[in-house]
């Protein structure tokens, strides 16, 4: 999504939280930039922001009585295995003809003030390396390249699906699906071997799985992240359009789980892209194909929903995890990852 060519001339600009009645203005501004209206995407995002003001942050800009820009972000609590929270900047847009007036910069500064109020020390985002206007905007705003790599994998014709296509269960029905990071902090990197002989059942995650998922996550990370896991489950069970989440059972026991989100529109994307949030495997079930089965079923479900690509983010120094991702078919994305530490 295009941003303003940031300049310090902010006279006359007023900023406020985005309201429900701003919906049509947001959609119209976005359509003027990307070429088509995305009502459903912004409707869901605004609904989440109004319901969870401490998790979803959205601000709008007015010049006189005219709606001229918006910014939206969501708070990350534990994605990628990190212990410190961050705001994930998903979109910042300025009306065509109103750029170079500092509107984008003013919106970003307001977002950073809100991050400080929430006790969040960092803002993160991604952008396509060919989006030169956005890259210049992030440069002037003080962002730096992060120490993570954005990876992507085709949902079809990947090595996971090719190996175990005959083991995939029929995807469950998901209605109202719209279609975007992986917490491999809860994954055992050596779990993704060939499937062992024996039955591994995968099904949709349920609210009653909370205790098992917290247990698995704690065993792998060494931290009890119940609040983060609870929020993942709440989203997974209350808004199937936003999350695709599965658990794997072996010998009647929950042995692993995976959560993924999908959206039409984050970071200015035009197509539906799923992004892995968290995958966890109980160490007692390592080397038994649990994580592998979860990925097989997840990719099958995504394919049935018309999603063609999965993204994730991996630390550049995590060579073991990078090796696994490359082995199953992930490759470096054309998107770059940025971060800004707040004073």
> Structural domains in the chain?
13-142 (3.40.630.30), 150-333 (3.40.630.30)
Instruction: State how beta strands 86-94 and 122-128 pair.
Output: parallel
**Residue 160 near residue 276 (C-beta atoms within 8 A):** no
| Count of CB atoms situated within 10 Å of the CB of 232 | 26
**Cα 287–chain centre separation:** 28
First to last CA, the chain: 27
Digits of tens for pLDDT over the chain (343 positions)? 444 444 445 568 999 999 889 889 998 998 888 887 778 778 777 777 777 777 788 999 999 889 999 999 988 765 544 556 789 998 899 999 898 889 999 999 999 999 999 899 999 999 999 999 999 999 999 999 999 999 999 988 777 655 554 444 434 333 222 223 444 445 544 443 333 335 799 999 988 999 999 999 889 888 888 888 888 788 777 665 556 889 999 989 999 999 888 765 555 555 678 888 888 889 999 888 888 889 889 998 888 888 888 998 888 888 877 887 887 788 999 999 999 999 7
User: Alpha-carbon distance 59 to 76, whole Å?
Assistant: 18
CA-CA distances (angstroms) from residue 237 to 73, 102, 232? 22, 40, 9
Cβ neighbourhood burial of 71 (10 Å; 0-12, 13-18, 19+): buried
Q: Which pTM was predicted?
A: 0.77
């Amino acid at each position: 999504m295009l941003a303003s060519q940031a300049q310090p001339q902010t006279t006359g600009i007023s900023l406020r939280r985005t309201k429900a009645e701003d919906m049509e203005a947001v959609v119209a501004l976005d359509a003027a930039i990307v070429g088509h209206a995305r009502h459903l995407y912004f409707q869901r995002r605004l609904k989440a922001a109004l319901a969870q003001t401490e998790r979803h942050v959205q601000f709008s800009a007015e010049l006189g009585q005219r709606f001229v820009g918006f910014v939206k972000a969501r708070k990350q609590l534990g994605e990628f295995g990190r212990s410190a929270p961050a705001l994930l900047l998903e979109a910042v847009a300025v009306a065509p003809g109103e750029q170079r007036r500092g509107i984008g910069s003013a919106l970003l500064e307001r977002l950073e003030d809100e991050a400080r109020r929430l006790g969040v020390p960092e803002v993160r985002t991604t952008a396509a390396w060919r989006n030169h206007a956005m890259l210049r905007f992030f440069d002037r705003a003080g962002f730096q390249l992060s120490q993570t790599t954005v990876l992507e994998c085709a949902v079809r014709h990947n090595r996971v699906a090719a190996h175990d296509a005959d083991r995939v269960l029929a995807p469950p029905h998901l209605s109202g699906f719209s279609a975007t990071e992986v917490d491999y902090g809860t994954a055992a990197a050596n779990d993704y071997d060939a499937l062992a002989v024996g039955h591994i059942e995968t099904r949709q995650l349920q609210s009653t799985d909370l205790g098992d998922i917290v247990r698995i996550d704690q065993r792998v990370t060494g931290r009890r992240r119940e609040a983060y896991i609870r929020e993942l489950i709440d989203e997974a069970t209350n808004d199937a359009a936003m999350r695709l989440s599965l658990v794997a059972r072996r010998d009647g026991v929950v042995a692993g789980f995976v959560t993924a989100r999908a959206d039409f529109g984050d970071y200015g994307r035009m197509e539906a892209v799923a992004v892995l949030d968290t995958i966890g495997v109980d160490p007692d079930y390592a080397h038994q194909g649990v994580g592998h089965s979860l990925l097989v079923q997840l990719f099958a479900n995504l394919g049935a929903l018309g999603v063609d690509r999965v993204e994730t983010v991996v630390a550049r120094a995590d060579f073991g995890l990078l090796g696994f991702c490359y082995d199953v078919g992930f490759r470096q994305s054309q998107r770059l990852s940025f971060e800004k530490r707040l004073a």
